[in-house]
Chain A
Amino acid sequence: MAEFCMPSLGADMKEGILVKWKVEPGDQVKRGDIISEVETQKGIIEIEVFTDGTIEQILVHPGEKVPVGTVLATIRVPGEEAKAPREERPPEPTFKYKFCMISAQHKEGPAKRPPEPTPVTTAGKRLKISPSARKLAAELAVNLSTVQGTGQGNAITRADIERAAEAQNAAAPLAPVKPEAGMRQAIATAMARSNREIPHYYLATHIDMSNTMRWLASENKKRSIKERILPVVPLIKATALALGKVPELNGFWIDDRLQLQEAVHVGFAISLRQGGLVAPAIHHADLKSLPELMEALHDLITRTRGGRLRSSELTDATITVTCLGDLGVETVYGVIYPPQVALVGFGKIMEQPWAENGMLGIRPVLTTSLAADHRATDGHRGAQFLEALNQYLQKPEEL
């Protein structure tokens, strides 16, 4: 049994009115015969049949409007026995293609809900603050309710946040009873996040500093006291260069992936007199000569303690170096500053017995440690980094 259906004559045709039958049950039809007329929004169109056979039953009568795909009549094909008349007007059109099309249109999964916006409000009023300033305020833990905007329409800008952060820092010593405020709060947030989110691994090694110390001593002889290079400077430079060999340690873990950074901006941890610490960036540390690095470090420390850091210095660091040797610490077990993926810790350079080629001697030895994000790298790469660092420190003249 074949079915003669309301045809689809265009994507914009949804239904049609059967206007006229040119055949009746029992009539012979052949492919190409016009057997009915259908009225559409464009006018009356003659409808042909694509099957040879005998009209068995008419299911839709003139004047009835039915959707595309509805069976209009059944046709008995040659060789087929006449069957009992089927029920008129099936409850559902049996036109399978139509359902294919409809189901295809509704195939999309449930719409994803957009994340809830985090409103920045004060006393119920939405703050006028630039997106960049809002980001910086979060990083510096600046309390927005205290910030006076000076931008267009009194919007809060990055400069306003920087000023507010300085004010908070300056105010900190005057209010020692509130250690959780400002800086402390920022550190608390960052370190808690680090500990919560970053699977740390730690590696440490002893580095023979004889060559570096000897070279520094001879270099510094040529310099005035002001221009002298501190031992930390070759350490920073060697770190920056070693990152060239293991670049996976120089970057950020954002959006569940490692985002490598091309530039090496070494964040140098500086403790503040009023408590707390910051690790501002020494930009392009790998490209600076040792004297340039010394100057940059000096400038950075001065400005940090004076509360005059630039905002980019607070956010640009791609890795952190922390030196706690001055206080006698031997080994540092660092906590990574997110979203960075590594922290290099230097302890005190101590004279120690050192065996080499079967001989025992006394050498200045530095314990160097690496805290790294296991999501970004594995211990193997971390070890290669420490070895590269060691190699650079054996040839200080090339730094």
Chain B
Amino acid sequence: MSKNEMIQITYREAVREAIREALRRDERVFLLGEDVGRYGGCFAVSKGLLEEFGPERIIDTPLSESGFTGAGIGAALGGMRPIVEIMTVNFSLLAADQIINNAATFLHMSGGCFNVPLVIRMSTGGGKQLAAQHSHSLEGWYAHIPGIKVLTPATLEDARGMLWSALEDPDPVLIFEHQSLLNMEGQLPANAGAVDIDRAQIRRPGSDLSVITYGASLFKALEAAEILAGEGIEVEVIDLRTLRPLDDATFLTSIASTHRALIVDEGWRSGGISAEICARIMEGAFYELDAPVERICGAEVPMPYAKHLEEAAMPQVEAIVTTAKRMVRSNG
């Protein structure tokens, strides 16, 4: 396989390849979750893995989110490297006790006796008309909690590379895979591997405005940036990649040269990660700002089913373009 060989791959396949690689590289790794085996995964991410690795390592669980997430924590304490799959972030609330009260606290509560090397993957986000119990973006809410790490891979490279780094981490890591990205297709080096999980990335450089985003909103921001470039506005697009720990240095540095910041977050505005980012900007870049920080967030409603309402409830390219123009141009 040549070093530069590129392969055509979907986000779903990239995640699957990452899981497959992990299962091959480390015999302590196993996948645990609802319908990950025979069914092939609710979103078909783990399709084919049962046949390849057998039922001892691809474990179907009953509908017991708290039970099997807690079992994942216990297995991690017992020397394994479990990957727990929870179908959607909404369902993870049934396991919130285990994630927040156990996984996040164990190391600290035990004064350093016990760490929990666990990875929990779950889908997140809207755009598929799955309504108010399957579409929310609670990753920012999890980012509130010390003791866990929160990853939001947007690109194929990150979908492929973050899992291994997460498994190597000694502490619990939550990975949020956006539902609308699963079918995204593109090119990836055939030998793509682990990537860092603690730095934000500038996905497009620009001098007039910093757009700070993550997950599926990244691609909306990039599309908006392309449109804005046609109108002479150069937008710097920052993909946070990891919401906890938050790499604020990258966006603060960017703002120091653009002097304007727009946050695009599919999560709700009130008390969300966008509010946290905004606060960090106030603390770290107040004197760099030439305009108020603005946010485009999910509308504050439970996600509606109807297509047009769902679209209206989520950040869209047009809103990014309009807001960016208003922020950059005078007399707005």
Contact = CB atoms under 8 A, between A and B. Distances in A.
Asked if the two chains touch in their complex, CB atoms less than 8 Å apart, one says yes
A157 B257 contact: no
Interface string B242-262: 000000000000000101000
A312 B208 CA distance: 13
Interface string A80-101: 0000000000000000000000
Nearest to B327: A152
B311 interface: no
Nearest to B257: A312
A134 B288 CA distance: 10
Contacts of A152: 291-292, 326-327, 332
Contact of A150 (B257, B286, B288, B331): B331
Name A's interface SS: helix
A91 to B, nearest CB: 43
A152 B331 CA distance: 6
Interface string B308-328: 000000000000000000110
Interface residues of A, number: 14
A30 to B, nearest CB: 37
A157 B288 contact: no
Contacts, number: 38
Given A151-B332, A312-B257, A157 B290 contact: yes
Given A158-B259, A312-B257, A133 B290 contact: yes
Contacts of B291: 130, 151-152, 155, 157
User: How many interface residues does chain B have, given as a range?
Assistant: 10 to 19
B278 to A, nearest CB: 14
A62 interface: no
A389 to B, nearest CB: 29
Nearest to A149: B330
B289 A132 contact: yes
Contacts of A133: 290
B326 A132 contact: no
A173 interface: no
Contacts of B327: 152
Contacts of B286: 131
A132 B259 CA distance: 7
A135 B285 CA distance: 12
A150 B330 contact: yes
Residue in B257, B259, B290, B291 whose Cβ sees the most chain A Cβ within 10 Å = B290
A159 interface: yes
A132 B257 CA distance: 11
Q: Dominant SS at the B interface? A: loop
Contacts of A312: 257
Interface string A28-51: 000000000000000000000000
B206 to A, nearest CB: 14
A70 B292 CA distance: 57
Contacts of A157: 290-291, 330
Nearest to A157: B290
A134 B286 CA distance: 11
A159 B332 CA distance: 14
A151 B330 contact: yes
A251 to B, nearest CB: 16
A190 to B, nearest CB: 18
A226 to B, nearest CB: 29
A134 B257 CA distance: 16
B290 A158 contact: yes
B288 A132 contact: yes
Interface in B274-304: 286-292
Nearest to A312: B257
A147 to B, nearest CB: 13
A134 B332 CA distance: 19
A131 B287 contact: yes
Nearest to A135: B287
Interface in A305-352: 312
Contacts of B288: 131-132
A261 to B, nearest CB: 12
A152 B328 CA distance: 9
Nearest to A159: B330
A366 B292 CA distance: 51
Contacts of B330: 150-151, 157, 159
Interface in A126-163: 130-135, 150-152, 155, 157-159
Interface string B216-259: 00000000000000000000000000000000000000000101
18 contacts: A130-B289, A130-B291, A131-B288, A131-B289, A132-B259, A132-B289, A132-B290, A134-B287, A150-B331, A151-B331, A152-B291, A152-B292, A152-B326, A152-B332, A155-B291, A157-B291, A157-B330, A312-B257
Interface of A: 130-135, 150-152, 155, 157-159, 312
Interface of B: 257, 259, 286-292, 326-327, 330-332
Given A131-B288, A132-B259, 14 more contacts: A130-B259, A131-B290, A133-B290, A134-B287, A151-B290, A151-B332, A152-B326, A152-B327, A155-B291, A157-B290, A157-B330, A158-B259, A158-B290, A312-B257
